[in-house]
Amino acid sequence: MRGSGRRGAAKWLSVYAVTYMVFLYAPVILLPLFAFNDATVVAFPLSHFTTKWFVVLWQTEALHGAVRNSLMVALSTAVFSTVLGASAARAAARYRFPGKAPVMGFIMLPLVLPEIIVAVALLVPIMQMGLSLSLWTVIAGHVLICTPFSIAILSSAFQGFDTSLEEASLDLGETRLGTFRRVILPLVMPGIVSSLLICFTISLDEFIIAFFLTGTDVTLPVYIWSQLRFPTKLPSIMALGTILLALSVVLLVLAEWFRRRAARRQGIEASVTGGLV
């Protein structure tokens, strides 16, 4: 009796979970529908299939500039954050020193800080010092919010690291740098690639900080924001969103694949949550 009741509960739970997934995917699924829809209004019923909105994107010069800016910002952010994240993750995993917990806590703070606070905090000194806003100010802000993600991804890679490998290399006469290059780096490389991909994806999509800190060169999300006001631009924005969605999914699948490979190399089980929590 109790068993059948429990099976009933399990059934309701799975129905709920599936409904929840529909809720999660509802807006995402609309994206390609409207991107390929031959109508100037973004509404149902759908019209014919078309790829003209993608052609419009191809012909929009301002968009290309924004894409170039965003790629530059996202690439720089990914590299800087991963370098900073890797050294912090390694320091935290390998060494014991005073003040580790509070310092690490402070470095991870942007993870829970509202983005508008990070944006305002960077804007005030820039204004005070009379510096001009540019893509570099955006990068500075993005590195701040991406480094904690990088640390979260890489700390599991460094924590699972077997220090006897490192000792063996040193005993066999390798220098510290050589050990790092030839022993440590290859083992954590997949984690590094995963961190690069995640930071790239976060930076590419980040809006609030970019909105506050861009000068005349806008990034892609800031460009999208400026276009959302014009109803006629919406179908092409849907097409752009579809491309971004496809790109993010590819990057994420790659990042996940590298993260698992990193874990496998060290003979540990990859945590299912991606090390983010």
Partner 1 sequence: MRMRLGLDREARRGLLLLSPTAGYALLMLAAPLVMVVTFSFWTQDYLDIDTTLTLNNYREAWSEPIYRVLMFRSLRISLIVTLATVLLAFPVAYFLSFHVTQRKALWLFLITVPFWTSYLIRVFLWKVILGFNGVLNTALLEVGFIEKPLTFILYNANAVVLTLAHAWAPFAILPIFVALEKIDRSLLEAAEDLGDGPLRRFVRVTLPLAMPGVIAATLIVLIPTVGDFITPRLVGGTEGLMIANMIQVQFGKANNAPLGAALAVSSMVIVAAVSLVIYLAGKKLGGKVE
Task: Pick the piece of the chain touching partner 1 (CB under 8 A) from 57-65, 66-74, 107-115, 164-172.
Answer: 107-115
Is 213 a binding residue for partner 1 by CB under 8 A? The answer is: no
- Between vectors from CA 270 to CA 265 and to CA 271, what angle results, nearest 5°? 160
Task: Pick the piece of the chain touching partner 1 (CB under 8 A) from 47-55, 57-65, 116-124, 187-195.
Answer: 116-124
Question: Per the omega criterion (within 30 degrees of 0), is the bond before 45 cis?
Answer: yes
The answer to whether the Cα torsion of 193, 89, 142, 26 is positive or negative is: positive
What 3-state class would DSSP assign to 37?
strand
Per-residue binder mask for partner 1 (CB under 8 A), 127-146, x = binder:
xx-----------xx-xx--
The minimum distance between CB 51 and partner 1, in angstroms, equals: 19
Please report, as residue ranges, which positions from 18 to 37 form the binding site for partner 1 (by CB under 8 A).
20-21, 23-28, 30-31, 34
Selected from 189, 245, 254, 268, the binder of partner 1 by CB under 8 A is 245
Place of tokens 């993010």: 248
Phi, psi of 163 (to 5 degrees): -70, -20
Q: Which two tokens stand for residue 30?
A: 């609309």
Task: Pick the piece of the chain touching partner 1 (CB under 8 A) from 59-67, 70-78, 105-113, 161-169.
Answer: 105-113
Is 256 a binding residue for partner 1 by CB under 8 A? The answer is: yes
The minimum distance between CB 116 and partner 1, in angstroms, equals: 4
Judge contact between 62 and 223, C-beta under 8 A.
yes
User: What are the CA-CA distances from residue 121 to residues 70, 116, 130, 147, 218 (Å)?
Assistant: 22, 8, 15, 17, 20
Selected from 72, 103, 133, 165, the binder of partner 1 by CB under 8 A is 103
Which residue number, 122 or 196, has a Cβ lying nearer to partner 1? 122
User: What are the CA-CA distances from residue 92 to residues 79, 88, 168, 235, 270 (Å)?
Assistant: 20, 6, 21, 48, 20
Judge contact between 67 and 220, C-beta under 8 A.
yes
Size of the site for partner 1 (CB under 8 A): 91
Judge contact between 266 and 160, C-beta under 8 A.
yes
Is 121 a binding residue for partner 1 by CB under 8 A? The answer is: yes
Is 191 a binding residue for partner 1 by CB under 8 A? The answer is: no
Selected from 224, 236, 258, 262, the binder of partner 1 by CB under 8 A is 224
Selected from 123, 133, 165, 268, the binder of partner 1 by CB under 8 A is 123
Please report, as residue ranges, which positions from 36 to 75 form the binding site for partner 1 (by CB under 8 A).
41-45
Is 274 a binding residue for partner 1 by CB under 8 A? The answer is: yes
